[in-house]
Structure 1
């Protein structure tokens, strides 16, 4: 890793979205593949920070869109996880492979579905992401979207021919039965043990409501949490109609 001053200046400019400064530094010879003191690549950090202009500058200067930061983190996956649609489009336009696999078997589509970002999912599917590629646990993408409660992601997958519609319908119905809050609390208890105090927050989202459950420590501070969307009833209707039409 280069430790000269211009390279060190790239990262503050990146975080601030100062595109003029990024251009000057690249013209001064800073590598578009530069990494910070922790080894994270400039392209990955720009992608997860939702800096599409900086991403385009780094790509135009020669940054490899699919190079894994720290050998584990793909820029496309980081952008998809954050719901950064413009960054995802910039990376895809520069040749990023839509089914690039990062650590633990995650793809960008898996992240988009797990976090409920339908516009990102649609962009990836249009670019050729496989609507049937299983996630890290072997779950079909449509089941992942149904569990998340994102009707928009379900629609995108159905439009691109995703299978496992019966399994996804069963999952959406299951969530309707147990309830999103109960599902989140059970999952957190499995991961962190039972008996913790918790707080529930409901946030408006483009698709309705997102329910977040946070576990609290003895001082009332959150130390773990998870969230799901609440589109399961709409998803049941979508999948019932889809399975009726297709016979699947």
Structure 2
């Protein structure tokens, strides 16, 4: 089942996406997808965990050694925005790139979770595009706030796909397209630390809670993103997350209009 949150005629709705791609409310009303504003599919996101260098090919691309322990950092809720909603390229930077990532959505609280039980704590999966500003990336082990904590620079969605609907989360194709051109391709089979490992690792020293998000890193394939670009991140079995990129002036002007 695909579960989404949208705004329609001033109301926030929880909807199911059926096999025809229609958005259906709990009462059975079909909502026209072209008339909605897509929201973050998690109503109250908890802690947002993000992984650095979790694909060996991406680490090599950046001339880093693959990590021996997960490189985990935290992100603020201000970074999240929905499918088809705009992100922006900051002024006066040299290089900004996308990061297509599989996201595990935690469905119930747990501490000291064993690897073999880990997926029981996952409500479902979604996609995020965790944009990075390379100009300020001084240390991949501690990405600073200017790299990973800007407004709107982590689109997420369009929906959550239930765990039971993904046959093998460890072998899903990931692709990114910029203005329709394929620029990134990989598979979750190449993760250094898979989702069960990450859940066991994180829960060994902190409680994971319902609504927590674990963004699992990105494979190789970088391209500088400019205002006017449309970036589409696809993951097999889940769907496609798309967002346009504005200039900083256009983005904040749009928000204040």
The bucket for the TM-score relative to the shorter chain is under 0.3
- TM score, norm. by length of structure 2: 0.25
Structure in which a larger fraction of residues adopt strand: 2
Larger Rg: 1
Name the structure with the higher helix share: 1
